[in-house]
A and B are shown apart, each in its own frame.
Chain A
Amino acid sequence: MTGPLPLAAQGRPRASIRVDLQAIAEMIEPGSRVLDIGCGDGALLDYLAHEKNVDARGIEISQAGVNACVAQGLSVVQGDADTDLKDYPTRGFDYAILSQTLQATWDPKAVLEHLVRISRRAIVSFPNFGVWHVRLRLLFGGKMPVTGTLTSAWYETPNIHLCTLDDFVDLCRALDVTIEQAMVLDSVGRPKGLQAPGRLANLLGEQGLFVLTRGG
């Protein structure tokens, strides 16, 4: 193919990012240090680095994803949230982001503890298994739900530790983790104006987005 590169490939201006990532990006203070765990193709990191002048680092489990990120000039290592967070120093980052990944880890409890250890604020998002239509599908269909946020059949899903928003809130309490901010999002990641956490949020929210911290 000849001719000029598409705008996005030239580096600037940055193409807009996914709605749910945008919601996360808006929580990040400019100039801060950020670790994005499960950074995928690096879209959020790239956005943060260029639009918010953030010292942006990433961990990605897929080597192809890592290589693509580094080839864009992003600082990304191949690694696994379950095994590699322990290496990072305490409070090494202002923010640790775990977007749509917690439910796919082996040990969400340990991962959550590391997140609040290595960062001042952890930003965690995950699909809500308590949303009304998931409950209905299980109740009336009798099968594991496949939805807009839970897209794979039970035998091939990477999601091995699904939870509801209330389950997650319970875990935070048990770990003495403070929920600074909580939002519920619709299936594409747009914030819903619901009080969260709360019973209605747990029933109507497709996804939860939490900002966590541990005092001290």
Chain B
Amino acid sequence: MLGAQAIAQRRRTAQYNCPLGAPPLALCACPPLARASPWRSKRLNPPAAWPMFRPLCSRKPARLAPLALSGIAPLTAHPTLTPLDSAAASFPGKRFVIPASDPLRLDSGIELGPVTVAYQTYGTLNADKSNGILVCHALTGDHFVADRHPVTGKPGWWEAIVGPGKLLDTDRYFIVCANVLGGCMGTTGPKDMDPATGQPYGLAFPVITIGDMVKAQARLIDHLGIGKLFCVIGGSMGGMQVLEWCSAYPERVFAAVPVATSYRHSAQNIAFHEVGRQAIMADPQWNGGAYQAAGTQPQRGLAVARMAAHITYLSETALHRKFGRKLQDRAQLSYGFDADFQVESYLRHQGSTFVDRFDANSYLYITRAMDYFDLQAEHGGSLAAAFEGTKTRFCVVSFTSDWLFPTSESRALVHALNAAAANVSFVEIVSDKGHDAFLLDEPEFHAVLGGFLNGAAEHRGLKFK
């Protein structure tokens, strides 16, 4: 079993910082993976029959193996690697426990407790507790916003804007970020022990929602003694949490910044998530979700899920600019299924590095939570009703090339906020970097965010030195 340090060591060669997890394409040098681990598949060998609507799982999917992700073959050298199982508990950061005596009441009706919430804070809470900012992370993000990641050793996923003197200035604000419920970086999730059985939850973990994640965060914010947050901010799934906060706890959010997000997960996005989930469940190592007990890890399935998802975080323009049809370490086509193209090699690298830092069942649960998110349906079909009477100041941000959460969805959100007479700003940032733009160096986004926060701080009466 590898500890966090050993994993970090093993990963030290990786060049990417994958928060969402999506690495800044701009930073990427094509990975050495294909060189180090040549892909040896001889022929295309598709599975004979694909069961359609049940987990393509546990019993006989073995034929998938030769085809699937031979590019990440080195991972099979560690078939029982469970880095997160052992390491998450020892990750740095803070812990708060929601006791079994006062459990979380989930949207499914199930009561869950005890629940550990792993979180991180930066800066200092002021005397009247009015400078708290909650940062909500995306699908595969975590609470290491501005800390070196304990598994990958890379900088925090939003270090570009969180820190002393930065946009989310830790000299001014008290910044909190918690690993989401169902996550795998310290907050209770499916890989943790079910107190009822003494075994890892696996698929016995209840299906959770964005609302449940926010309930857990609200308990943490209570615990920190903060009544009203100055701001709740997040991108992608983090933006969904922002909207949920504004809808469920309007009086506790002074300003809100939902970025590159939507009030509901679209059919196309659910479809992509389903591809990812089926890839995981088709991996024989998944073992019906009980892979920890079986001593296996569905690394290939999880890697394929990551590869498919990663494409959706980018844009055609960005992919073309970076890779085009360039070949990977060769002058001509191989007439085989090796990673001829740099873009293939890049994706394989994304998949293979992801499995070290993420739990497959967590991926199932968190993608499900996103799929279930529909603030409009939850309010009788009227999105404006979700924000009725709100006093929160909103700054909605979208990016032109984001086809996962396109501007049209932000615009629909803005129309609903207008209908609710909300105080709302809405900017669309011109960028060709796709969905991931919110994590990258986008000067106009940062200028807008800084202006919004300063304006909101002025209205909140926050005084800074």
Question: Chain A residues in contact with chain B, CB under 8 A?
Answer: 55, 57, 63, 66-67, 69-79, 84, 87-89, 92
What is the distance, in angstroms, from A168's C-beta to the closest C-beta of chain B?
Answer: 27
A73 touches B452 (CB 8 A): yes
**Complex-state Cα separation, A70 to B396, whole angstroms:** 11
In the complex the two chains form, is B458's CB within 8 Å of A84's CB? no
21 CB < 8 A contacts A-B: A55-B423, A57-B424, A66-B425, A66-B426, A66-B427, A67-B429, A67-B447, A70-B395, A70-B427, A71-B448, A71-B452, A73-B451, A77-B396, A77-B425, A78-B428, A79-B414, A79-B426, A87-B418, A87-B419, A88-B418, A88-B421
A63-B428, A87-B415 known; A70-B451 Cβ under 8 A: yes
Complex CA distance for A53 and B120, rounded to whole angstroms: 37
Task: Flag if B456 contacts A73 (CB, 8 Å).
Answer: yes
Chain B min CB distance to A83 (Å): 10
* The 9 residue pairs across chains A and B that have the minimum distance between CB atoms: A73-B455, A71-B451, A77-B426, A92-B421, A87-B418, A87-B415, A70-B425, A71-B447, A70-B448
Given contacts A72-B451, A76-B425, contact A67 B415 (CB under 8 A): no
Do most interface residues of chain A lie in helix, strand or loop, or is the interface mixed?
Answer: mixed
Give complex CA distance A92, B424 in Å: 14
- CB pair B424–A88 under 8 Å, yes or no, is no
Inside 8 A of A67's CB, which chain B residues have their CB?
427, 429, 444, 447-448
Return chain A residues, CB-CB under 8 Å to B427: 63, 66-67, 70, 78
B421 contacts which chain A residues (CB < 8 A)?
A: 88-89, 92
Does B393 belong to the interface (CB within 8 Å)? Answer: yes
CB distance from B164 to the nearest CB of A (A): 21
- Residues of A near B288 (CB, < 8 A) are none
Q: List, in ascending order, chain A residues with CB within 8 A of B458's CB.
A: 73
| A75 near B393: Cβ-Cβ < 8 Å | yes
B32 at the A/B interface (Cβ < 8 Å)?
A: no
Q: Does B114 contact A (CB under 8 A)?
A: no
Residue of A nearest to B407 (CB): A78
**A87: which B residues are within 8 A, CB to CB?**
415-416, 418-419
Residues of B within 8 A of A55 (CB): 423
Query: For the complex, what is the distance from the CA of A152 to the CA of B455, rounded to whole Å?
Result: 36
Cβ A77 vs Cβ B424 within 8 A: yes
Judged by a CB distance under 8 angstroms, whether B454 is at the interface is yes
Using A57-B424, A87-B416 as known contacts, list a sample of 8 further A-B pairs with CB atoms less than 8 Å apart, ordered by residue number in A.
A67-B429, A67-B444, A72-B455, A73-B456, A75-B425, A77-B418, A84-B415, A84-B418
Which chain B residues lie closer than 8 Å to A79 at the CB level?
414, 426
Confirm or deny: B450 has a beta carbon within 8 angstroms of a beta carbon on chain A. yes
Interface residue ranges of B186-221 to A (CB < 8 Å)? none
Alpha-carbon separation in the docked complex, A125 to B114 (Å): 63
Instruction: Say which size band chain B's interface belongs to.
Output: 20 to 34
- Assembly CA distance A75 to B393 (angstroms): 8
Alpha-carbon distance A72/B418, docked complex (angstroms) = 20
Number of A-B contacts (CB under 8 A): 67
Min CB gap A55→B, angstroms: 7
Q: Report yes or no: A78 in contact with B426, Cβ–Cβ below 8 A.
A: yes
The 0/1 profile, CB within 8 Å of A marked 1, for residues 447-465 of chain B is 1101110111010000000
Q: How far is the CA of A215 from the CA of B134 in the complex (A)?
A: 45
Interface centre among B393, B416, B430, B455 (most CB of A within 10 A): B455
Inter-chain CA distance A66–B397, complex, in Å, is 12
Q: From A57, A63, A67, A87, name the one whose CB has the most chain B CB atoms within 10 angstroms.
A: A67
Q: Which residue of B lies closest to A77 (CB)?
A: B426
**Chain A contacts of B393 at CB under 8 A?**
75
A88 touches B419 (CB 8 A): yes
Q: Is the CB of B447 within 8 A of A57?
A: no
Q: Which residue of B lies closest to A83 (CB)?
A: B415
CB distance from A61 to the nearest CB of B (A): 12
Chain B residues lying within 8 Å of A69, measured Cβ to Cβ, are 425
Q: What 0/1 readout, one digit per residue, does chain B (382-425) give for beta carbons within 8 Å of chain A?
A: 00000000000101100000000000000000111011110111
Closest to A74 in B: B455
CA distance A40 to B122 in the complex (A): 37
Distance in angstroms between the alpha carbons of A210 and B448 in the assembled complex? 34
Instruction: Please state if B419 and A70 are interface contacts (CB–CB under 8 Å).
Output: no
Q: Are B414 and A77 in contact (CB under 8 A)?
A: yes
What CA separation (Å) do A72 and B425 show in the bound complex? 11
Residues of B near A89 (CB, < 8 A) are 419-421
Quote the shortest CB–CB distance from A71 to chain B (angstroms).
4
The distance in angstroms between the C-alpha atoms of A71 and B427, with both chains bound, is: 10
Nearest CB in chain A to that of B450: its residue: A71
Specify the chain A residue showing the minimal Cβ separation from B424: A77
Nearest CB on A from B413, distance (A): 11
Instruction: Identify which of B418, B423, B424 gathers the most chain A CB atoms within 10 Å of its CB.
Output: B418
Query: Which B residues are in CB contact (< 8 Å) with A73?
Result: 451-452, 454-456, 458
The answer to whether B423 touches A75 (Cβ under 8 A) is yes
Residues of B contacting A57 in the complex (Cβ-Cβ under 8 angstroms):
423-424
Chain B nearest CB, measured from A120 CB (Å): 14
**Which of A63, A69, A76 has the most C-beta atoms of chain B within 10 angstroms of its own C-beta?**
A63
The docked-state distance in angstroms from the alpha carbon of A75 to that of B414 is 12
C-alpha spacing A88/B414, complex, angstroms: 11
- Considering the chains assembled together, what is the distance between the CA atoms of A55 and B422 in angstroms? 11
Tell me how far the C-beta of A175 lies from the nearest C-beta in chain B, rounded to whole angstroms: 23
Q: Specify which chain B residues have a CB less than 8 angstroms from the CB of A78 in the assembled complex.
A: 426-428
Distance of A66 Cα from B420 Cα, bound (Å):
20
Set of chain A residues within 8 Å of B430, measured between Cβ atoms: 63
Residues of B near A84 (CB, < 8 A) are: 415, 418
Query: Which residues of A lie under 8 Å from residue B426 when comparing CB positions?
Result: 66, 76-79
CA distance A88 to B430 in the complex (A): 27
Q: Are A74 and B425 in contact (CB under 8 A)?
A: yes
For B396, the chain A residues whose CB sits under 8 A away are 77
Residues of chain A contacted by B418 (CB below 8 angstroms): 77, 84, 87-88
- Residue numbers in A under 8 Å from B423 (CB-CB): 55, 57, 75
Cβ of B451: which chain A residues have Cβ within 8 Å of it?
A: 70-73
> Nearest chain B CB to A9's CB is how many angstroms away?
12
How far apart are the CA atoms of A84 and B414 in the complex, in Å?
A: 10
Tell me the smallest distance from the CB of A114 to a CB of chain B, in Å: 12
* CB-based nearest A residue for B452: A70
